[in-house]
Amino acid sequence: MLCLPGLTRNARDFAAFAAIYASRHRILALEFRGRGQSDHDPVPARYVPLTYAGDVLQFLDELTIPQAIFVGTSLGGLVTMTVAALSPDRIAASILNDVGPQLSNEGLDRIRSYVGKDIRFKTWDAAAHAIADNNNHVPASFTQADWVRMARRICREQDGEIIFDYDMAIALTFNTAGPTPQFDMWPVFAALARKPLLVIRGEKSDLLTSAAAEEMRKVAPSAKLAVVPGVGHAPELDEPEAVTAIDRFLDSLTA
């Protein structure tokens, strides 16, 4: 299973997911260039899904992996769809986490409001408060301890400060060209849906609306859809509803 994270995120987002599924599958979590331990790109214009898709295919080639189950959260799902356009045979099945071919401007504007701002923190509590604000305090069930745990996934310590663990330059292409490839993604989504597909949506998501998710079901009637209650963008994939849906989906692949 190849796990691809969101725009500002990294492989740490999949730690809980890996703990659940590593006994059944080989779990690989890739950090896109400019995130986590991957190098920053000296040419920010290359921070686009087409580049990331090429990196993913090279990654699979170097590990001699002919095919994988793709698990894409947000940007990772857009990259999964791009891979489906470039090299569909590399995808055995896919799980799209709170993303699709049509994204809400409300959610995109919220992300634009914070991405690429080099804000630094003195304490993990301060970082947690900022991240809660960035997410409109959704899920509402999250405690301060939950937000601190999220902060420790998104940020890192450097020179006595806590900083976001990504290259601020990723915002340049996001804020100009936008997060999606510059062509109609619906045919690409339909191509992806020729393989087994599970779409997971956060009930409170402001990026993948319920209307967009229903349209995805019309375009891909064989795809499965699961909604995680009380969660926004994006589910962490260890929620009971997400785990149940993923378990059923994986079981169906071997039935």
Cα distance between residue 207 and residue 38, in whole Å: 26
- CA proximity to 96, closest of 246, 248, 232: 246
SS3 string, the chain, reads CEEECCCCCCHHHHHHHHHHHCCCCCCEECCCCCECCCCCCCCHHHCCHHHHHHHHHHHHHHCCCCCEEEEEECHHHHHHHHHHHHCHHHEEEEEEECCCCCCCHHHHHHHHCCCCCCCCECCHHHHHHHHHHHCCCCCCCCCHHHHHHHHHHHEEEECCEEEECECCCHHHHHHHCCCCCCCCCHHHHHHHCCCCEEEEEECCCCCCCHHHHHHHHHHCCCCEEEEECCCCCCCCCCCHHHHHHHHHHHHHHHC
The per-residue pLDDT string of the chain (255 residues; one tens digit each, 9 = 90 and over) reads 999 999 999 999 999 999 999 999 999 999 999 999 999 999 999 999 999 999 999 999 999 999 999 999 999 999 999 999 999 999 999 999 999 999 999 999 999 999 999 999 999 999 999 999 999 999 999 999 999 999 999 999 999 999 999 999 999 998 886 565 566 899 999 999 999 999 999 999 999 999 999 999 999 999 999 999 999 999 999 999 999 999 999 999 997
